[in-house]
Structure formats: C-alpha cells, structure tokens
C-alpha cells in the first residue's frame, strides 16, 4: 500500500529524502522572499560602489601630491610667488600677505616695496602688507592677531654691504577637508626667495639682476597609496555579511517560534537533515555572494581585487561569510523571537565595527601581544576579516606590489613587516571557528528549552545511548539556569465515576497480565504530567512559580477503528495529554503504549512518529508555501516513496477540497482552509493513529460537515483521538467520549451513556398549534395562551416540573431521571389530550451533551473550590451579605429565625462559570423558609466549615445538604 507505514522509507534513504525536501523548502522560501535573497546576493555591489566613490574622492584630494606616483623626471618649481593670505587655511580677515620689521631704514623700505612689486604674477598691494619697526612689535601684533598673517620678514640694515634678515612663519602643518597645507613650501620658501632676491638686487644696485631659484623633488618610485578597501573595507564587508546573518537568524527562530520545527520533528524529521539542509542552502548563497563580491571588486578596478589572486580573495570572503552564518546558527539557539534578529544583527555589527577598529590599530596581531590575546581576538570573525583585508591591501599598496598569489598564501604577506599571521593561517582560523560555531549551535539547540520548554540535559552527549540511538534522548524541562527543586507528586485520587474506575481497572489488568489486546491502538497507563513551574536564579534569590499538575493519572484505552473524543473545559489537560503522546513534552509519570511502543522509550517514540499524524491546535504552516508544497514536504519527511508523493498529495488536497487552492500560498488561506490543510497533513502517510486537536475551529458549517465526513472515513484502519469544543462534533463523530476536567478523566462512555448518566434527564418540547398565528402582543407583554397554562399545570401536577424555556409557540421542560417510570403514562395521556391543550407536536429526547459537559465542568469546579475552601460574598435582595463557600447551593441565613419561620429562611444560589471556567454567583432564589426536617448543625460539611472559617467580616451562611431537601427542579 503506498504510503502505508510499512512502505515508508527509513535510515539513510529517508535522511537524504528529508534533506532534499528541506533544501527545496529553503529554496522556495528564498525565492518567495526575493528582496531578502537579492540583498543577500547583490548587496556587495552597492557597498563596493561606495568604497569606489570614497577611493576616488581621496585620490582627487591627493592629486597635488606626487607621493603615490612614480616620478622619473621631476619637474622643477621655479620662483614660487608669495601667495595671497586668503589661501591660508583657517585665515581670519582682514589678512596680510606678510608683515615685516625694520621700517626705520629707507633701504629696507625699498627692498620691501620691490618684494611687493616684483612678486611673480601678482604684485602685492600695500594694503596686504604691514610694517613694524622692531621684531618685538611684530611678535606683540602676532600675539594679539593670530591667524591674520602667514609669515613675517625681519630686516636689519647693518651697513652698506651688509643687510641681514630673518624669517618667521607659523610652522604648524594643517589639514582642511582632507587637504594638507605645508607652511614651509607654501609661505616660507616664496617669502625667502623674494627677500633674498631683492636684497641681492639692492646690494648689487641692479634692479633687474636676474635671480632665479627653482626647487625640484627627487625622482622616486610611487609610495603607498591610500587603500579604501584596507581601511574602510572591513566595515563594509561586514555589513554585506550582515544581510545573510540577520536573514539566517530570522529564518531559524521563525521556524522555532511558529513551532514549524516541532511539527516536522513530530512527523519524524531527523535533526541532522534539518541542520545540513540549512547549511547547504546558506553555503550556496554565501558562495554566490562571495563570488559576486570579488567580481564587482574587479569590475571597479580595485588593485586589491586585480593584483591579489582571485582564489585567495574569493576564499577569504567565502570563509568569512560562512563563518558568520555559523555564528548566526549558534546565536539563534538563544533567540526565541524572530523579530529580535534585526536587533541581534545590529548589535553584532556595532561590536564588529568597534573590534575591527581596534584591529586596525594593530591589536593584537603584532609582536607586542601574546598568543592568548590573538586566540581570544580571532574567535570573533570580523576581526579576522579586518586583519586579512589589511594584509591583502598592504600586499597591493603600491603599483610595484604584485599581491598575494595562491602559492604564496602560506608565506608572510608583502609589506607585512611583523609577519604574525599569514592569509593561510586566517583561512584555518575561519574554518576552525566555523566548525566550533556549528557544533555549538547544535549543542545549544539541544540544551536550551524549545518552544515547549523542553531541552536535553547539559551533558546529553556523554550518554552512550545518545550515540547508539538507544536511550539517549532523555529530555528535561525548565531553563538550564533553573534552581533545583523537586516536583511534588500529585495526590492519587480514586475516580468518582464507576465507568472511569472500570476503564482504569481494565487497563491495569491488561498491564499486569502483559496482554496486548489486538483491538487496542493506544493504552494510556496512569499518564501524569506536572509542569515544573519556573524557578529562576535571580541576582540574590531564587524566584519560583509552583509546579502545576496538568494531568493527574489518566488510565484509558483507545480502540482501533474508533474515534475517541476528549472533551473538557479550557485548561483541562487535553492538549497536555496529546503533547505527551506525541513526545512534545516529557511525561512525569505513567506511560502510553501506542501500537506496542512506549512513549517513554526513545526508540519507541521514533517508531511512534512513523505511525502517527497530528493536527495541532494551532495551524503550523509556512505562510510562503502553498498547500501542495506543504503536503509534499511533510510526505517527504514522513518517508513516503518519492514516486507516490505527488499522487498522495493530490488525493489529500482533493479530500479536503483544496485542489483549486493547491498552488495558493497558505498565508492567503482563510482560517478554515488552513485547518483543512492541517487535517490533510495529519492524515498524510496513512498513519495508524491520528490526533486531531480542535480540527474544525473556524470552519463554516458546510466545510465542517465535509471535514466530519473525512474524519468519519478516516476511522477505518486507524484510531483517532479528537479534542473539540463542539458538542455537536463530539456527538456525531465519536465512538467513545471522555470528559476531562482539572487534569482528570471525569466520565467515559458513549454519547448516549453520558447523556443518560450525567444529563439532568429528558427534555420535552411541547409546541402549540395557535402559537404562530397569534396576534403580536404589545411590546413588553408576554403572550400567555390559556392552553399553555393548562399544560404547565399538567406538568407541575404530574411530574412536578416547571418550564425551562417558554415562548408563544412552545414550552420546554426538563424531566429528571427519577420520573422515568411515570413518563409512559404521562405522555400517552398528554397525547390523548392534545386537542384540548391545543398541542401541535410533542418531542421527547435526552438532554444534550453540552449539558453533560457543563454539569461535569461545574462539578469539577465545585470540587476544586471545596478542596481549596474558597468562599465568596452573596448579597441578598434584602441587602444582607453572607459569606458562602464557592459552589454551595442551598444556604440558610443565620439570624432569620422568628415565630413565623422557626428554622429561619434560606435561598438557593445559582452559579455560573466565568470566561476562565471559575464559578461565580449568577443570582439566587427568593427567600423561603427552611423546612423543619433540616437539621442545620448536621448539614454543614467539612468543606463548608473550612469556607466559613475564612471570613470574619460578613455573616456566615449555613450550607444545607442537598439530599435533605425535597426535589426541586428549577435549576
Ligand atoms: N508549558 C507549560 N507550563 C506550565 N503550565 C502549562 C504549560 N502548558 C500547559 N500548562 C497548563 O496546564 C493546564 C492544561 O493545559 P492544556 O493546554 O493541556 O489544556 P487544554 O485542555 O488543552 O485546554 P484548551 O481547551 O484551552 O486547549 C493549563 O492550566 C495550562 O495553563
């Protein structure tokens, strides 16, 4: 049979099939989120373009310098003129081209006048020059007028053949917007040349005496150029890697957060297939992204990319990005919300940027630091990238450098004087740390609690069973930092219900005899589950929430070819029971045997996963994958033979009427469509046990009926466990029903059995022929037919019941079981008098399952309120307030005894359940005298006593034992 558990693949073929399916899923997800994938692959183009722009800007600033060029035939700089003072950086206006001292001498004044007139290309106006008599005056002026003049000349006219002069400049070299100003060349030398020239001319007495001085730099090879890649590249390439980094953390945490990974594990997914599929996919993306980075770098003609070997540069980027992916894998184990991935990415980027900055300053890759520093520093991948880019940039820093070839990768990089680490060493580091991240990712993934709070022990890998696959899959709950505390065992409670007790006996008998009943699919043997509560170690103390007993010993058999319906109010423990059966949460006590395999044994659990299908309470779907793709994926994980997957998926989609929407993304499905897809996934692979947790939630009535048909048909050859809040669904589908409340099975049996046992009795609907033709009464007035009164009277007299519901067309009576023997005569008489009463129709049926459910839930609430001894305040219409135990029905009011009412008065309290299922007072009956046969002192029970003792402010109500009162059917 195709898809039957026997035909399912296992071992290596299954691993490879799961890997292929998951790889395809990753590919599809990437294809569907094109923008993210585009960024992962091509963001390097943008960043390399930015680096290119920065490099061009710096080149243009350095254009005036020949330092970065080969100068073979240097050009002389002839007679540099005195520049206008405005060219000085940071000059303050008004400014002077130069100031001078020695103004007492006519010869000196002539010299200065000539300097100004003969300045090459630009005679200097007198307004731009300022004269002083002495050097001291110049200094005083310079001191009080800083930055108003770039240079000063000090002349001393000693004798006819001797004129001395001095030169003063502000020698501090300054930068402005990337431009460098050297005052020696810009101001001092032109001033010096002009002064000497004019002094010489004056002394010789020839104003046209030729005095030509020129300056020429040495011929030199090009010096180090500025490498944008070496300096700012590390940050930019880190930014490129961050796209994949954030995307990867986001994808892994989303699968965890949405419980998709858990759903796949439940279907039998191997962890190894999961990790390898992500690693392979990201490896390919990283490979392409690195390739594009290098190609874009070459396209923009960077020496870094052109002169270093292609293989060397490509391998560096590939290993770095892969390393960052490994780092992302590891960090994702600590993150539970996918929305945090951007924050984590940003934080890593900032830290990386700063540590790269530190690396650029030479820490710790130099002789002065020990290996320990280098070891610790190299654990963070951005640091290794910064060092590698520095080495590669230095290796191509001048046009003479040929870069690092593949063969030379193990040697010291050119221009790396210290030679602490080679490119090859960096590769080895990147590979080694990647392996460390990957192993840590798997380790942390196992020991950090998953979305269900379950984790493996810290040293799980030391257990031999883990490696042999036998017994090493023990799991624990709570965080690894939890304080140790023992879980108190839940008290053993003997079931009140005979059927539940009987079921327990049968299971125990079969268990003790070691008989495996071939008709039983699942045997639940005293299943108990206690959530340990959270116990976290704070700064100084251990904060603790108490353990919670969610299942308190469940004994039940689920038969083959049958549907067992588990009902119960919210929080009853249904999902917990299912999670125990599917291995999502570890059991605290007891066991479950599914087709002979124990849920407590790892080997058993892996066998069970092959034969169960689960439709979880909440849809666990990828919004970007279509219905068909979901079924293909889960069928592959389950191990269906590849040849049959397409046809099986098609059939499943057909069954749940999703054929037309098969190619639509699940994200655009309606709530009902998603549930149907979840049901189809649960049924795929022909599982022998199907667990459906509220499968029809959100479906319209037509679709729901259709899904009921599917479930009904699916019963053949398998056992189905269904939980639902729809009583109609339970009534229609179930072969047996178990109602749970507060972690215990309260009743078990067929729908009819439960109704007759726990329902209030029979429901009689009496319709009246004249009702619908009657004239509409004035607003607010109840319509009362004379015949209706007679019928009410008839029911009251014969059966002592009043209508539960009434309107102009019908009356509804609830008749208790103890009146059963009167019913035959009663209804035959009623039928005989139909005409007299104007009755058109009489219907008699059992009370509904909903009523059974409500009764059981209320009973459970009463029990727990009684056990806890909680009390509430009842305020009577007379204004008196009395304190009564939660759930008390008949309450005597103390202090109301008088001559008329010797025993006092009492009220009946009506209880309702609030949204959380807790009992709350809905109202109370009018005050009635307490019957004389009631002995108040004897009627108070232990629970009541506890409740009464709790309050001191209000009058304590006296609880009256139900059984001592005459029958009352009003509620
Ligand atoms: N991981 C957990 N840690 C602590 N308590 C839990 C945990 N999971 C469930 N519980 C508690 O166990 C009780 C049973 O929960 P469960 O989900 O089994 O109820 P349910 O019957 O499926 O309810 P519903 O009908 O609302 O789905 C609840 O009180 C719930 O708060």
Q: Kindly list the domain boundaries of the chain, sorted by start residue.
A: 34-54+225-447, 76-216, 498-755, 760-768+786-846, 869-938+952-970
Q: Name the residue of 550, 696, 860 whose CB sits within 8 Å of the most ligand 1 atoms, as the mutation to test its pocket.
A: 550
- Span 930-948, mean pLDDT? 50
Q: Are 83 and 186 in contact (CB under 8 A)?
A: yes
844 membership: H or E segment, kind and range: strand 839-846
Residue 966's pLDDT is: 47
Residue 483's pLDDT is: 55
- Span 539-546, mean pLDDT? 68
Residue 555's pLDDT is: 92
Residue 480's pLDDT is: 63
- Label residues 337-351 b or e (16+ Cβ within 10 Å = b): ebebbeebbeebbee
Q: Which CATH class is domain 760-768+786-846?
A: alpha beta
Identify the residue whose C-alpha is closest to ligand 1 atom 31.
571
Q: Name the residue of 573, 615, 617 whose CB sits within 8 Å of the most ligand 1 atoms, as the mutation to test its pocket.
A: 573
Token pair recorded at residue 155: 């002349």
The yes-or-no verdict on residue 744 having pLDDT over 60 is yes
d(C-alpha 639, C-alpha 292), whole Å = 38
Q: Indicate the angle between helix axes 701-714 and 671-683, nearest 10 degrees.
A: 0
Q: Which CATH class is domain 76-216?
A: alpha beta
- Span 475-494, mean pLDDT? 63
**Cα of 742 from ligand 1 centre, angstroms:** 10
Residue 852's pLDDT is: 82
406 Cβ partners below 8 Å, 6+ apart? 309, 311, 312
Q: Do β-strands 77-78 and 214-215 pair in parallel, antiparallel, or remain unpaired?
A: antiparallel
- Span 473-496, mean pLDDT? 64
Query: 97 falls in which pLDDT band (50, 70, 90)?
Result: very high
Residue identified by tokens 């058993």 is 604
Residue 458's pLDDT is: 84
Query: 840 falls in which pLDDT band (50, 70, 90)?
Result: confident
The Cα-based distances of 17 to 2, 274, 415 in angstroms read 16, 11, 51
Residue 853's SS3 state is helix
**Cα of 696 from ligand 1 centre, angstroms:** 20
Identify the residue whose C-alpha is closest to ligand 1 atom 2.
531
577 or 762: which carries more pLDDT confidence? 577
Position in ligand 1 atom list of the atom nearest CA 569:
25
**Cα of 631 from ligand 1 centre, angstroms:** 29
What percentage of residues in the chain have a pLDDT greater than 90? 42
d(C-alpha 247, C-alpha 286), whole Å = 12
Query: 486 falls in which pLDDT band (50, 70, 90)?
Result: low
Residue 103's pLDDT is: 86
Q: Are 581 and 691 in contact (CB under 8 A)?
A: yes
Residue 296's SS3 state is helix
Query: 664 falls in which pLDDT band (50, 70, 90)?
Result: very high
- Span 751-777, mean pLDDT? 72
**Cα of 743 from ligand 1 centre, angstroms:** 9
Do 498-755 and 760-768+786-846 share a fold? Answer: no
Residue 140's pLDDT is: 95
Query: 2 falls in which pLDDT band (50, 70, 90)?
Result: very low
The yes-or-no verdict on residue 803 having pLDDT over 60 is yes
Terminal Cα-to-Cα distance of the chain (whole angstroms): 56
41 or 600: which carries more pLDDT confidence? 41
**Model confidence pLDDT, tens digit, residues 403-447:** 899 999 998 878 887 888 999 999 999 999 999 999 999 999 988
881 or 254: which carries more pLDDT confidence? 254
Residue 760's pLDDT is: 74
Query: 971 falls in which pLDDT band (50, 70, 90)?
Result: very low
Q: Which CATH class is domain 498-755?
A: alpha beta
SS3 string of 656-676? Answer: CCCCCCCCCEHHHCCHHHHHH
Token pair recorded at residue 147: 């930055």
Token pair recorded at residue 278: 């992500």
Long-range contacts of 746-751 (CB under 8 A, 24+ apart): 746/495, 746/496, 746/497, 746/500, 746/856, 746/859, 746/860, 747/497, 747/499, 747/500, 747/852, 747/856, 748/497, 748/499, 748/500, 748/503, 748/556, 749/499, 751/849
The full DSSP string for 759-799 is S-EEEEEEEESSGGGSPPPPTTPPP--HHHHHHHHHHHHHH
Q: Are 703 and 676 in contact (CB under 8 A)?
A: yes
Query: 481 falls in which pLDDT band (50, 70, 90)?
Result: low
**Model confidence pLDDT, tens digit, residues 100-125:** 999 888 999 999 999 999 999 999 99
The yes-or-no verdict on residue 918 having pLDDT over 50 is yes
The yes-or-no verdict on residue 368 having pLDDT over 50 is yes
Query: 185 falls in which pLDDT band (50, 70, 90)?
Result: confident
Q: Are 82 and 149 in contact (CB under 8 A)?
A: no
When the pLDDT of each residue in the chain is averaged and rounded to a whole number, the result is 85
d(C-alpha 44, C-alpha 38), whole Å = 10
3-state percent helix, strand, coil for the chain, nearest multiple of 5: 45, 20, 35
- Label residues 46-73 b or e (16+ Cβ within 10 Å = b): ebbeebbebbeebeeebeeeeebeeeee
Dihedrals phi, psi of 787, to nearest 5 degrees: -70, -35
Residue 437's pLDDT is: 95
Q: Name the residue of 450, 482, 531, 723 whose CB sits within 8 Å of the most ligand 1 atoms, as the mutation to test its pocket.
A: 531
**Cα of 725 from ligand 1 centre, angstroms:** 15
Query: 942 falls in which pLDDT band (50, 70, 90)?
Result: very low
The yes-or-no verdict on residue 785 having pLDDT over 90 is no
Position in ligand 1 atom list of the atom nearest CA 617:
27
The region that residue 250 occupies, defined by phi over 0 for left and psi between -120 and 50 for alpha, beta otherwise, is: alpha
**Cα of 546 from ligand 1 centre, angstroms:** 14
Query: 949 falls in which pLDDT band (50, 70, 90)?
Result: very low
Q: Are 396 and 303 in contact (CB under 8 A)?
A: yes
Identify the residue whose C-alpha is closest to ligand 1 atom 24.
570
**Cα of 721 from ligand 1 centre, angstroms:** 18
- Span 526-555, mean pLDDT? 78
Return the closest-CA partner of residue 668 out of 604, 703, 702, 624: 624
Q: Name the residue of 534, 548, 614, 695 whose CB sits within 8 Å of the most ligand 1 atoms, as the mutation to test its pocket.
A: 548
- Span 690-719, mean pLDDT? 88
Query: 84 falls in which pLDDT band (50, 70, 90)?
Result: very high
d(C-alpha 689, C-alpha 693), whole Å = 13
The yes-or-no verdict on residue 782 having pLDDT over 50 is no
Residue 945's pLDDT is: 38
Token pair recorded at residue 67: 């330092």
Residues with CB under 6 Å of ligand 1 are 453, 531, 548, 550, 568, 570-576, 617
The yes-or-no verdict on residue 952 having pLDDT over 70 is no
pTM for this predicted structure? 0.76
Token pair recorded at residue 741: 């409340």
- Span 672-682, mean pLDDT? 92
**Cα of 662 from ligand 1 centre, angstroms:** 34
- Span 848-872, mean pLDDT? 79
Residue 485's pLDDT is: 56
- Label residues 363-386 b or e (16+ Cβ within 10 Å = b): bbbeeeeeeeebeebbebbbbbbb
């Amino acid at each position: 049979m195709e898809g039957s558990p026997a035909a399912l693949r296992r071992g290596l073929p299954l691993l490879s099939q799961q890997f292929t399916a998951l790889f395809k899923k990753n590919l599809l997800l990437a294809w569907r989120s094109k923008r993210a994938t585009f960024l992962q692959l091509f963001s390097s183009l943008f960043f390399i373009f930015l680096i290119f722009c920065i490099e061009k800007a710096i080149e243009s600033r350095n254009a005036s310098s020949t330092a970065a060029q080969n100068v073979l035939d240097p050009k002389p700089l002839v007679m540099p003129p005195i520049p206008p003072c405005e060219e000085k950086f940071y000059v303050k206006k008004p400014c002077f081209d130069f100031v001078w001292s020695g103004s007492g001498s006519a010869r000196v004044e002539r010299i200065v006048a000539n300097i100004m007139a003969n300045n090459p290309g630009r005679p200097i106006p007198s307004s731009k020059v300022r004269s002083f008599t002495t050097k001291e005056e110049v200094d005083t002026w310079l001191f009080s007028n800083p930055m108003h003049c770039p240079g000063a000349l000090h002349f001393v006219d000693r004798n006819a053949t001797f004129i001395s002069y001095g030169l003063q400049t502000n020698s501090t070299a300054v930068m402005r917007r990337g431009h460098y100003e050297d005052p020696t060349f810009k101001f001092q030398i032109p001033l010096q040349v002009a002064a000497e020239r004019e002094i010489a001319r004056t002394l010789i007495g020839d104003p046209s005496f030729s005095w030509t001085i020129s300056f020429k730099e040495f011929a030199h090879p090009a010096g180090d150029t500025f490498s944008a890649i070496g300096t700012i590249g590390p940050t930019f390439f880190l930014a490129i890697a961050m796209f994949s980094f954030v995307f990867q953390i986001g994808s892994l945490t989303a699968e965890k957060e949405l419980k998709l990974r858990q759903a796949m594990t439940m279907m039998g997914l191997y962890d190894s297939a999961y990790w390898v599929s992500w690693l392979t996919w990201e490896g390919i993306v990283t490979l392409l992204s690195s390739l594009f980075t290098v190609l874009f770098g070459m396209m923009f003609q960077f020496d870094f990319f052109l002169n270093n070997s292609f293989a060397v540069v490509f391998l560096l980027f590939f290993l770095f990005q892969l390393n960052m992916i490994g780092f992302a894998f590891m960090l994702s184990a600590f993150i539970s919300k996918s929305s945090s991935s951007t924050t984590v990415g940003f934080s890593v980027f900032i830290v990386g940027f700063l540590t790269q900055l530190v690396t650029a300053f030479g820490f710790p890759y130099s002789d002065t630091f020990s290996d320990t520093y280098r070891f610790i520093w190299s654990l963070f991948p951005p640091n290794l990238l910064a060092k590698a880019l520095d080495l590669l940039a230095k290796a191509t820093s001048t046009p003479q450098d040929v870069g690092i070839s593949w063969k030379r990768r193990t040697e010291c990089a050119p221009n790396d004087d210290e030679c602490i680490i080679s490119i090859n060493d960096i590769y080895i580091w990147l590979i080694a740390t990647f392996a460390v991240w990957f192993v840590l990712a798997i380790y942390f993934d196992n020991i950090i609690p998953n979305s269900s709070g379950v984790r493996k022990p810290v040293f799980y890998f030391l257990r031999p069973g883990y490696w042999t696959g036998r017994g090493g899959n023990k799991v624990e709950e709570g965080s690894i930092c939890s304080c140790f505390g023992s879980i108190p065992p839940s008290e053993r409670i003997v079931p009140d219900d005979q059927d539940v007790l009987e079921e327990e006996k049968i299971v125990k008998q079969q268990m003790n005899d070691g008989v495996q009943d071939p008709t039983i699919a699942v045997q639940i043997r005293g299943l108990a589950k206690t959530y340990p509560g959270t116990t976290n170690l704070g700064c100084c103390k251990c904060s603790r929430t108490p353990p919670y007993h969610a299942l308190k010993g469940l004994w039940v058999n689920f038969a083959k070819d049958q549907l067992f319906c588990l009902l119960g109010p919210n929080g009853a423990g249904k999902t917990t029971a299912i999670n125990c059966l599917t291995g999502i949460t570890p059991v605290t006590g007891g066991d479950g045997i599914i087709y002979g395999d124990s849920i407590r044994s790892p080997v058993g659990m892996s066998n069970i996963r092959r034969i169960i299908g689960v439709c979880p309470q909440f849809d666990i779907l990828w919004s970007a994958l279509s219905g068909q793709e979901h079924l293909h994926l889960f069928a592959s994980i389950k191990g269906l033979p590849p040849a049959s997957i397409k046809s099986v998926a098609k059939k499943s989609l057909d069954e749940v009427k999703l054929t037309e929407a098969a190619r639509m993304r699940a994200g655009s499905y309606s709530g009902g469509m998603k549930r149907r897809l979840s049901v189809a996934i649960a049924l795929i692979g022909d599982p022998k046990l199907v667990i459906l947790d509220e499968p029809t939630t959100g479906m319209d009535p037509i679709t729901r009926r259709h899904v009921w048909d599917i479930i009904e048909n699916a019963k053949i050859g398998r056992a189905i466990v269904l939980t639902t809040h729809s009583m109609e669904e339970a009534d229609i589908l179930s072969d047996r029903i178990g109602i749970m409340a507060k972690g215990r099975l309260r009743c078990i049996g067929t729908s009819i059995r439960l109704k007759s046992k726990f329902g209030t009795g029979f429901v009689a609907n009496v319709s009246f022929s004249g009702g619908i033709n009657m004239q509409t009464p004035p607003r607010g007035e109840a319509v009362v037919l004379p015949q209706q009164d007679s019928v009410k009277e008839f029911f009251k007299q014969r059966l002592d019941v009043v209508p539960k519901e009434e309107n102009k067309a019908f009356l509804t009576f609830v008749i208790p079981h103890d009146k059963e023997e009167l019913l035959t005569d009663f209804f035959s008489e009623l039928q005989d008098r139909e005409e007299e009463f104007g009755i058109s129709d009489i219907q008699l049926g059992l009370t509904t399952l909903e009523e059974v459910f409500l009764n059981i839930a209320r009973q459970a609430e009463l029990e727990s309120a009684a056990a806890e001894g909680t009390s509430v305040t009842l305020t009577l219409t007379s204004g008196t307030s009395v304190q009564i135990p939660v759930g008390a029905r008949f309450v005597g009011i103390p202090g109301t005894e008088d001559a008329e009412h010797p025993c006092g008065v009492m009220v009946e309290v009506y209880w309702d359940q609030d949204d959380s299922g807790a009992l709350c007072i809905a109202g109370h009956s009018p005050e009635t005298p307490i019957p004389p046969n009631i002995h108040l002192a004897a009627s108070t029970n232990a629970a009541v006593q506890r409740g009464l003792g709790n309050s001191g402010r209000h009058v304590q109500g006296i609880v009256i034992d139900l059984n001592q009162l005459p029958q009352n059917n009003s509620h």
